[in-house]
Amino acid sequence: MMANEQLLQLIDNCIVLCQNEKDSGYSGEATEEQIEHYILPELYELREKVICNNLPYDRYLLAFGYAFRVWEWHTESTSRLFLALQSLHNVYKNSNRII
């Protein structure tokens, strides 16, 4: 699978998980503010960059950094959204070597 296709799949999976959180009334670890103001906007922006093949050389998914360092989401009993953001971050960060 090409790196761009893999990134798009991971992004779309994160978007679906965010939608699931919204639909459940934010019953998971993420808050409405985190999803609506940080995670989703970054995912949509990243999706557009992948589609346009306009990715920066230095890559870091801010939403993952916030979840891990600022919002202090649990890293021992992680949520599906945290794991999805972590996977996306790792592929995105390292994709400059394969795109």
Q: Look at residues 33, 41, 31, 35 and name the one whose alpha carbon lies nearest to residue 18.
A: 35
Backbone angle region of 72, left / alpha / beta, with phi > 0 → left and psi within -120 to 50 → alpha: left
Q: What's the pLDDT score for residue 2?
A: 61
What is the chain's alpha carbon radius of gyration, rounded to the nearest angstrom? 13
Token code pair at residue 16:
């679906």
Determine the Cα–Cα distance for residues 46 and 13; give it in Å rounded to an integer: 13
Determine the Cα–Cα distance for residues 72 and 60; give it in Å rounded to an integer: 18
59-90 pLDDT, tens digit per residue, is: 888 888 877 777 778 667 678 898 899 999 99
Asked whether residue 52 carries a pLDDT value surpassing 90, the answer given is yes
